[in-house]
Amino acid sequence: MDISAFSGDDFDVSSWINTSYDRSQRTTTGSAGKEAFVSSLVSKMQLYVQQINVALEQTGGQVVKNIPKVISDASMLQIESGLLKQRMNQVQREIAHLQTETGDCMVSLERLDGIKQRLQSSKQCLQEADGWGKLAGELEDLLEKSDIEASSGKLLSLQKSLVAQVALHGHAERENQVEYFKNRLEALVSPSVVVALRSMDTAACRRYVGIFEGINRLAQLKQYYRTVLKTFVQEQWAGAIEGSESGGSDVLKEFYDNLLELLKNHLRWSCQCFGDATDCVLAVAEALENLDPTRESIVRSALKRATDKFWTLTQFSKVNVSSGTLIEGWVRGGPQQDIRCEDESVIDRLASSLFVFFGIFLKEYPTLENTQLEAALQSLTIVGTAPADSVHNLESANDKIMRWATEAMTRCQDITQNCALLSVGSVLQNYLLSYLDQYNKVQKQLAASQPNQTDWNLLQLSVVLLQYLGTFRQAVHELEQTFIENVQTKHDQLASNASRARFEYRLHTKGEVNELRKLVAAFQASTEPNREFFTEFHPRMKRTCEDIHDTMLQIAFSPITKHFKQIEPVSSSPAGATVGSSAMDALPDYSYAPQEYITLISQYLLTLPQHLEPLLLSPAGVLKAVLEVADHRYASNRPCADVFLALVVEESEALYVEQIENICSLNASGAKQLATDIEYFGSVLEEMGQSLGANLQQTVKLLRAPLDSYASAATGCDPELVAAIRQKRNLMSC
């Protein structure tokens, strides 16, 4: 039986009994099982109550037995606490009495101790003053003998004596005398220091560090070291220039290789002598900033001799980047991480001295790229003597244009580490716009080549031209997304560890940094799935798509326009002559056949889908995309051929309505003939899956309306159309 549930806060008798009963049901069944469960449960509960009573009686007996002992222990504790309190009060009274008796004595002792200290200090000052002249004389003799070790020791003693006499008269003169001896010692030791630094004599240099540190002139010793190291760097630069035959990037490569070896040796040696490598790094940075001749002049001379300037710049840039990476690894600890240079500003100066000199070429690079792309574009011959040649020239030109643009972005990464990416982006946009103008020229050539008769080849060429434009548009989109990814990557590189020195090319100005940040912020804030950088290109692309699509419609619609011109406007004559013969007025409607112009138009429209099917029924993705740009109706689920046919039919109906409006007067037979033509036109459209427009449907209805019930038949029609048809049919207004 589970008796632990009785101690729970949420114990419920009914739930406990039901749970116990459910467990018992697994072994017994029926009413006999219920009675047995109740009997067993009552027996167990009675037994459990008896056990509890026995336990309570035993516990109560133990408590009663231990109560006298507890009371006795409490009384003892109370007595002991009273005694402790009395003792603490007595100690407090004794302390107060002692302070009262000895307070004045302590004040007197402190005063006497202060007087003693001042007397001792005065005594020491007098002793030092007495020994100053002796020390100065001995130091003078040692300096005359060029005894560096003894002179430095004596000068340290003189400095201590100066500190001891700080409160005595003539302190300023003594300070000047100490500085004089320091200058003499430094002049005496400097030749030996230079020799030790050039030979990297660790023991001698450590000794000189101790001497200069003792006279508070360690900064001057470090300056000697930096001067020696800068001389080494300049000598290596001159040797690299003299040893080069081409005068190209190999000069920089050999120099940086030698510089790295020099740096490896001096970084560790500087840590051994000076405790860190800060002065070594600073010396190399200063030497790189003042090389003679400058690295810019070497690069400029190589560019003047080079036939491929991009290749030359790439080689110089690769040398800079690879060498910078190796130098950074050593400056930041080396392979064993035993090199210490914790001054980040000095490391940043070294990084700047390695890369900033190339900044002038980073500024000039976009101009070179623009010249290169313009020359490449001008080398293409696109517009030919025939439209077909021009259209097919664009197919091969698309690949070349995008390959050149991709190569430009690759060069931007290789030469500038994408520091000139925004400028190159503007160059690419102008380059793509210039190429887009070629599509406009070909489109105008197509529009000007429309013959009087139907030319299905010209229509096919317009479709092909639109497809090539779609291919170009898709390629530009992919290029643009790659460009945007590169921009974001560059921004992330600049934003990460902004306080850490970067061994890489840098943006020229804060304005460029801010422009990059604003551009990336705009990209991140954009809700469009496809972000755009070529903001001028896309509107121009949309206009070009619309122009080529309009040209395709004009080519397809040209024969229809020619046939519709056969409906000549007819003016009322003084005799009231009208279109149609009065002899035919009484003929029934089925006696009228469609005229030639409408049958030719219908035949052309029925033939048109056959020439659209290869490309427009299931067009390539790029063609469908460019059609959607040209007209939003292509974005529906309808086949593109149906949309194009609907546009042709829409234009045909508009022109038909316009031609009907030019008819001034119609007799009964003329009205029936025109209605027959329109109905035939509508049946052809229905066969094509199109429908006749509401204006033409109402026109048929009004043309066939009897004279006596014209007003009732016109119910629901356009009032202006009702009035126009009434006037053409010469009906009286009612």
When pLDDT is averaged across residues 489-497 and rounded to a whole number, the result is 82
Q: What separation in angstroms does the CA of 96 have from each of 26, 92, 142, 294?
A: 85, 6, 65, 85
- Yes or no: say if 673 and 592 are a contact pair by the CB < 8 Å rule: yes
Interhelix angle for 148-164 vs 171-199, to 10°? 150
Average pLDDT value for residue range 486-494? 87
* Shared domain check, 297 and 392: no
Residues in CB range of 37: below 8 A, 6 or more apart: 20, 21, 24, 28
Separation between Cα atoms, residue 532 and residue 538, nearest integer Å? 8
Phi, psi of 666 (to 5 degrees): -135, 130
- Under 8 Å CB-to-CB from 409, ≥6 apart: which residues? 424, 428, 479, 482, 483, 486
pLDDT at 569: 47
Q: Give the helix, strand, coil percentages of the chain, each rounded to 5.
A: 80, 0, 20
When the pLDDT of each residue in the chain is averaged and rounded to a whole number, the result is 81
Distance between CA 677 and CA 672 in Å, rounded?
9
**What pLDDT does residue 570 have?**
42
* Per-residue model confidence (pLDDT) at position 552: 85
318 in the same domain as 378 = no
Token output for 355: 């890369």
Whether residue 474 lies inside any domain: the answer is: yes
Which of these three, 356, 379, 411, is where a domain ends? 356
On the 0-12 / 13-18 / 19+ scale of CB atoms within 10 A, 552 is buried
Q: Measured at the alpha carbon of residue 27, what is the angle toward residues 25 and 28, in degrees to the nearest 5? A: 65
Our CA dihedral for 690, 692, 695, 697, rounded to 10 degrees, sits at -160
Place of tokens 């007495």: 130
As a whole-number percent, the residues of the chain with pLDDT over 90 amount to 21
* 574 band by pLDDT with thresholds 50, 70 and 90: very low
Cis check: omega of the bond before 706, within 30 degrees of 0: no
- What is the SS3 assignment for 579? strand
Residue 307 lies in a domain: yes
Q: What is the mean pLDDT of residues 465-493?
A: 90
In a domain, 144, yes or no: no
Q: Indicate if the pLDDT at residue 515 is higher than 50.
A: yes
End-to-end CA distance of the chain: 107
Rounded distance, CA 623 to CA 466, Å?
7
- Residue 222 has φ and ψ, to the nearest 5°, of -65, -35
At 579, give phi and psi (nearest 5°).
Answer: -65, 135
Distance CA 185, CA 312 (A): 53
Query: What is the DSSP secondary-structure string of 465-522?
Result: HHHHHHHHHHHHHHHHHHHHHHHHHHHHHHHTTTTS---S---SSHHHHHHHHHHHHH
Give dist(CA 627, CA 634) in Å, integer: 6
CA dist 418 and 168 (Å) reads 67
| CA 516/CA 489 separation, integer angstroms | 11
Instruction: Quote the pLDDT of residue 152.
Output: 65
* Domain C-terminal end among 306, 328, 356: 356
339 and 439 belong to one structural domain: no
CB 277 within 8 A of CB 331: yes
Same domain, residue pair 399 and 352? no
Judge whether 173 lies within some domain. Answer: no
Report the pLDDT value the prediction gives residue 150, as an integer from 0 to 100. Answer: 60
pLDDT of residue 476: 92
Query: Which pLDDT belongs to residue 323?
Result: 92
Phi and psi of 9, rounded to 5°? -70, -30
672 with 698, same domain?
A: yes
Do residues 508 and 358 lie in contact, with contact meaning Cβ atoms separated by under 8 Å? no
- What is each CA distance from 351 to 229, 268, 498, 622, in whole angstroms? 18, 19, 14, 47
What's the length of the chain?
A: 734
What pLDDT sits at residue 155? 60
Q: Is the pLDDT of residue 635 over 60?
A: yes
Same domain as 260, residue 121: no
Residue 154 belongs to some domain of the structure: no
Asked which of 321, 337, 356 is the last residue of a domain, the reply is 356
Q: What is the mean pLDDT of residues 490-512?
A: 80
- Contact assessment for residue 113 and residue 105, using Cβ atoms and an 8 Å cutoff: no
Q: 291 and 409: one domain?
A: no
Assess whether 375 and 453 both reside in one domain: yes
- Mean pLDDT calculated for residue range 707-733: 80
Amino acid, res. 626: V
Distance (Å, whole) CA 533 – CA 480: 7
User: Per-residue pLDDT for 74 more than 60?
Assistant: yes
| 405-423 confidence digits (pLDDT tens) | 999 999 999 999 888 899 9
Query: Mind giving me the DSSP string for 311-337?
Result: HHHHHHHHHHHHHHHHHHHHHTTTTTT
Count how many domains the chain has. Answer: 4
pLDDT of residue 585 exceeding 70: no
- What average pLDDT does range 116-129 have in this prediction? 59
Residue 623 has a pLDDT of 83
pLDDT for res 626? 85
List Cα–Cα distances, 696 to 7, 102, 672, 705, in angstroms.
Answer: 93, 129, 14, 14
pLDDT at 94: 83
Residue 266: which domain range? 217-356
CA distance 143 to 729: 134
Residue 280 and residue 314 in one domain? yes
How far apart, in whole angstroms, are the C-alpha atoms of residue 402 and residue 475? 7
User: In the predicted model, what is the mean pLDDT of residues 97-103?
Assistant: 74
**Coil/strand/helix, residue 732:** coil
Q: List the structure tokens of 379.
A: 């080398």
pLDDT category at 716 given cuts 50, 70, 90 is confident
Residue 158, pLDDT score: 63
Asked if the model's pLDDT at residue 460 lies above 60, the reply is yes
pLDDT at position 45 = 83
CA–CA distance, 220 with 609 (Å, rounded to integer): 93
As a whole-number percent, the residues of the chain with pLDDT over 70 amount to 82
pLDDT digits (tens, 9 = 90+) for 334-352: 676 677 787 888 888 999 9
Query: Do 518 and 443 share a domain, yes or no?
Result: yes
Q: How many C-beta atoms surround the C-beta of residue 461 within 10 A?
A: 24
Identify the pLDDT of residue 253: 92
Beta-bridge partner residues of 666? 579
H/E run at residue 12:
none
Mean of pLDDT values over 547-553: 87
**8 Å CB contact between 655 and 560:** yes
How far apart CA 414 and CA 321 sit, in angstroms, is 10
Q: What is the pLDDT of residues 263-302, one digit of tens each?
A: 988 888 888 888 888 889 999 999 999 999 999 999 999 9
* Single-letter code of the amino acid located at 677: D
Q: Is residue 96 part of a domain?
A: yes
- Does 571 fall in a domain? no
Q: What is the pLDDT of residue 368?
A: 93
- Single-letter amino acid, residue 535: T
- Interatomic CA distance for residues 423 and 369, integer angstroms: 10
H-type alpha helices, 215-277:
218-243, 249-274
- 206 within domain boundaries: no
Domain co-membership, 110 together with 46: yes
Cis peptide leading into residue 293 (ω within 30°): yes
Annotate 29-58 with three-state secondary structure.
Answer: CHHHHHHHHHHHHHHHHHHHHHHHHHHHHH
Q: Could you give the CA distance from residue 707 to residue 691 in angstroms, rounded to a whole number? A: 28
388 and 522: one domain? yes
**DSSP secondary structure code for residue 666 in this structure:** B
Q: What is the pLDDT of residue 575?
A: 34
Q: How far is CA 597 from the centre of its chain?
A: 62
Residues 6+ apart with CB under 8 A from 513: 494, 507
In angstroms, how far is CA 678 from the centroid of its own chain? 61
